[in-house]
Copies of this chain bind each other. A is one copy, B any other.
Amino acid sequence: MELRHLRYFVAVAEELHFGRAAERLGIAQPPLSRQIQDLEGELGFKLFDRTRRRIELTAAGDVLLKRTRDVLERLEDAVRDARSTSTGKRGRVTVGYPSSLAYTGLVGLLRAFRTEFPDVELAVRELPLAEQLVGLTNGELDVGFLRGPLDGEALVTECMRREPLMLALPADHPLARHKRLTLAAVAREPFVFFPRVRAPAFFDLLLSLCQKAGFTPQIRHEAPQADVLSLVAAGFGISIMPASVREIRRTDVAFRPFAGAPLTELLLAWRVGEGSPSRQAFIDVVRRVGLRLDSVL
């Protein structure tokens, strides 16, 4: 049995006239008769009573007609849905992001995406860089925002934002009086960093900065990214962070530029090769909308 048989059957059942049904289907009457006969033969029961001049549906034919209409309709829906999915109008995107992005652009971006693709399910997960790399590689994440540099992963990256690193220190710290600082000036201060495993390349970048300034930082405390700021505010030490973290606007932490502060890149990354259309749609929106700082807090 093929869809052809079903389509023909529905046409004949609706017209109750082989000639008109054939015309509607754009074929001649004899082949239509034969296809219906073939269908009846395969099914093993009659669909039409051909007694008298007019044909009419048998009880079985009537049942099959109703059900077949439903089946054909569902099939059309299925194709429509699949097509929507193929153009990214439907689907699911899983996005990873570092904690620093929560207040500095992510919300506006997600809002823009949802406006344009309301039927795409969005799953956002705050993850440290290392876990994002794992997720992107094994397919758990479709895209990730992460801070460079990356050392040779099989990922496509696009730079979304370029910003200098800044020194973060308690607002009441003596050095906070200076508008600008040098790394050498804070060589003897205790530092608060995130655990190296969370983002080794970025961690090593910070270390090498200190090395170049002629010292090795005393790392007194480690904390998940989001909590580093609180530890700094509480006076446990100072830290080095991307400039956008200022946007959180904590009054108990002072951000100060320092000499030789490198630019870091916030990257949008995804696995090479074909991805879901929804992923592509998300990437397109990010490219178009960018990471405008959210006007919150």
Contacts and interface: CB of A to CB of B under 8 A. Distances in A.
Interface of A: 1-4, 6, 43-46, 49, 51-52, 58-64, 67-68, 70-71, 74-75, 77-79, 81-83, 85-87, 90-91, 273-274, 276-278
Main secondary structure of the interface of A (DSSP, over half): helix
Given A2-B3, A45-B82, A60-B86, 18 more contacts: A1-B79, A2-B2, A6-B75, A44-B83, A45-B83, A45-B86, A45-B87, A46-B86, A49-B273, A51-B273, A59-B86, A59-B276, A59-B278, A62-B85, A63-B85, A67-B74, A70-B74, A71-B75
Nearest to A272: B51
Contact of A274 (B51, B77, B87): B51
A112 B129 CA distance: 74
Nearest to A45: B86
A74 to B, nearest CB: 5
Contacts of A86: 44-46, 58-60
Tell me the number of copies of this protein: 2
Nearest to A67: B78
Top 3 A-B pairs, shortest CB-CB distance:
A67-B78, A60-B86, A45-B86
Contacts of A70: 74, 78
A67 B81 CA distance: 9
A65 to B, nearest CB: 9
A49 B277 CA distance: 12
A287 to B, nearest CB: 20
A51 B62 CA distance: 47
Contacts of A64: 78-79, 81-82
A273 B68 CA distance: 27
Contacts of A3: 1-3
B74 A60 contact: no
17 contacts: A2-B3, A44-B83, A45-B82, A45-B86, A45-B87, A59-B276, A59-B278, A60-B83, A63-B82, A64-B78, A67-B74, A67-B75, A68-B75, A68-B78, A70-B78, A71-B71, A71-B75
